[in-house]
Structures are given as C-alpha cells and as structure tokens.
Amino acid sequence: MLHAHAQPTNLKLSTKNSTLQITDVTDQAAALEAYDGHERVWCGRDEERGLVALVGIHNTALGPALGGTRVWPHESFEAGMTDVLRLSRGMTYKAAVAGLPFGGGKAVIIADPKKDKTEALLEAYAEMLVALDGQYYTGEDVGLTLADADFIRERAPNISGTSKGGSGNPSPVTAEGVFLGLKAALAHKSGSDRLAGVLVAVQGLGSVGWSLCEKLHAEGAELVVADIDTDAVDRAANTFGARMADAGDILFVEADILAPCALGGLFSSDTIPQLKAGIIAGAANNQLARHEDARLLMERGILYAPDYVINAGGLMNVAAELAPGGYNREATMRKVTEIPRTLTAIFQKADAEKRPTNEVASDIAMARIADKRS
C-alpha cells in the first residue's frame, strides 16, 4: 500500500515521445482542508494536448482504488484538487459500506467538457491511466460520456463502464439504487414506501436524474425539476408533467423528498435552515459541505440518506466488471437491492443512538477497513 509521504513511484509513460508529465503532488494536497491522509495524489499535465488532470488515491486497504473521472472547469487548480480529495474519500466510504474489494479514488480533468474535451486531451489522459499501472481504475462521471470511456478503453485497460468490453453506461444502475434507497427513506419516515402523490424535487436531469424521474413518474410521484440545461427541464415537463423550478431555487421548494442529482457541496449551515423537504435522498456525491453538517439536518428532523450509500449502484456495476469470472448482470442487480436494506439499518441505528446518519455510515466503512488491516 502507498503512503502519503513515501518516495513516489516512478511512472512509466506509455509512449516514448509523450509530452505528458506526471508528478506526485501529495504534499501540496496535504495543505488543504479536504486532505484526509490520502495515500497519493498525482497530477498529469500535457500542455500540447491541453490536459490538466488530478488523480486522488485515498485508501487502498480493501483493494486498488476505483472511482470515476470527472471533467469540470474548476476555477483554480486548488479547487480541482479539493474536489478530488473530497470525492476520493467518499469513494473509500462507498466501496467499504457496499462490501466491495476496492479502495477509494477519483480523478478530475480540469476542463470545460463542452469546449475543451478533445481526442488529444483524452489520449493524454489514457496515457496517464496506463502509467498509474494498476493503482487506479476509473469510469464515467460528470462530463465524461460513454463514448469518451470507449475511446479511453481502446488505449488504457483500467477503465470500466464501457460498451466495448464492458457493461455499458452505469448510470441506470446508479438510478435504480437511488430509487430503491429513496423508497426506503420514505418508508422509514412515513411508514409506507408508496410514491403515489408524493412530491419529489429532482435537481439535475443528467443520465441518473432523468432515469430516476422515469422510475418516480411510473409509480405516481409528482415531480418538480431543475437543471442548468433548460431543454432538459422542458422535456421533463412534457414527459412527466413535472413542474419547473429555477436551478438556484430547487433546493428550497416545498417537497416531501429532495433528490440532488448534480454536483455536491449543497447542504451547509447557510442552506440547511432554508430546506423545506423532510427527506434528502439523491445521487449527487459529497452533498454535505462538511461532514458535521449532517447534524444540522438531524436537528431539523430531515432524514438524510448518506450519498455514498444510496448512490453506490454505479460503483457496484463497474466493480463487477473487474470481478473474477467477469461481469454478471443478475448478480450485480441483486447486490443493488441490498442498498435499501443497508440504509434502513443505518436509519434505525441513527435513531436509536440519536446520531446523524452519515456518522453511522462512516463508522461502518472505517470498521471494515480496520478489520482488513488487522
């Protein structure tokens, strides 16, 4: 296992004439508040091909690091690094609670996915993945499409969730887990998981958010939706009869359930007092601005489904591709059905001990990691 301040491994690039440079920036990351004893943080730069990528490896006690690659135009290198640190730590918890033999990792390519994401950039990133030599396995995330993953897969073996040699887009599996987890939260809060007439506010209509809306609509839920893509909002209104909300206001609408399915950092001491939903159950990663903010939700009587528990379906799916014997769809979907049972156990323990749900969930994760190390 790597350690944060050990001598860095020399990374061998995949081509002789590569313009890619990969450096260990763990010590730089350690100065940030989001750092949490990460084993390694790598930075890949290729000025000719426009790549600035960060790969955070948080904890590999349970196995090699696994996590998606996000393409996002962070306003600064430090902001991108903070994102990588928070996301990779969340992946450690997600894999551990789900009982997967993987550790936590995450990558961020600092670029605008609509303007900067070229084949040359993706090719340089694929070289970085090859150079990491089994330390990190990745897949799709915000800004990285199935087509992008297929392109990278042709150049690097350590990417899952592809249509070429993989199981395809994991987003529908993520949505299925979120849907089942949302129903478990509703049952715990109200005594019934019936969605007919229940108002759900969905923030974000990407692959996961849209799939979740389909499932909710099919069971009679009423929807209010928001996205920065106004065309997606219009389609949701036409397809599901959804009410439309402004992207800046969706968190604060009157709703039974709030399902964040976009970016994280949403719930803080500033926003939590304004919330009007009784349940938070959505797909977004790192929904809390700080781990401690879950206590504010508890004090307001808002039931919070820890994001790294409810959204683990996609990780389960891509992890299954790496299992001995290869991908088994039926076995994977059976594992996804464990998500609501896990959440219900967390809710019950949190109630009994009067503790925030994410504290209970993180205790489960760290106990499994400690058991592995002992």
Which run of H or of E encompasses 41?
A: strand 40-46
Same-domain check for residues 361 and 230: yes
Same-domain check for residues 188 and 118: no
- Asked whether the CA dihedral 69, 70, 74, 79 is positive or negative, the reply is negative
For the chain, give percent helix, strand, coil, nearest 5: 40, 15, 40
CA 161 to chain centre: 14
Look at residue 133 in the predicted model and tell me its pLDDT: 85
Q: Are residues 248 and 260 in contact, defined by beta-carbon separation less than 8 angstroms?
A: no
Structure tokens at 357: 């749900």
Which run of H or of E encompasses 172?
A: helix 171-190
Same-domain check for residues 215 and 344: yes
Own/partner long-range contacts of 6-13 (Cβ < 8 Å, ≥24 apart): 8/40, 11/42, 11/131, 11/132, 11/133, 12/131, 12/133, 13/127, 13/130, 13/131
Look at residue 8 in the predicted model and tell me its pLDDT: 47
Location of structure tokens 């690094």:
81
Same-domain check for residues 144 and 224: no
Domain residues for the domain of 148 are 21-91+101-153
Catalytic residue numbers? Answer: 106
Q: Kindly state whether residue 15 falls inside one of the protein's structural domains.
A: no
Q: Look up the pTM and report it.
A: 0.89
Interior angle at CA 161, CA 224 and CA 107, nearest 5: 80
* Residues of the chain with confidence (pLDDT) below 50: 1-8
Distance CA 5, CA 15 (A): 28
Select from 232, 220, 273 the least CA-distant residue to 251. 273
Q: Kindly state whether residue 41 falls inside one of the protein's structural domains.
A: yes
Q: What is the CATH number of the domain that holds 147?
A: 3.40.50.10860
Q: What is the CATH number of the domain that holds 356?
A: 3.40.50.720
Look at residue 164 in the predicted model and tell me its pLDDT: 78
The chain-wide mean pLDDT, for the chain, equals 93
Distance CA 254, CA 258 (A): 9
Look at residue 16 in the predicted model and tell me its pLDDT: 59
Same-domain check for residues 187 and 139: no
DSSP-assigned beta bridge partners for residue 1: none
Distance CA 101, CA 103 (A): 7
CA 365 to chain centre: 16
Q: Output Rg (C-alpha) for the chain, integer angstroms.
A: 20
- Parallel/antiparallel/unpaired status of strands 136-137 and 65-66: parallel
Q: How many domains does the chain have?
A: 2
Same-domain check for residues 137 and 224: no
Look at residue 326 in the predicted model and tell me its pLDDT: 84
As annotated, the binding site for NAD(+) includes: 204-209
Q: Kindly state whether residue 334 falls inside one of the protein's structural domains.
A: no
Distance CA 147, CA 157 (A): 15
pLDDT one-digit tens code per residue, 322-352: 888 888 999 999 999 999 999 999 999 999 9
Give the phi and the psi of residue 353 in degrees, each rounded to 5: -100, 0
As annotated, the binding site includes: 204-209
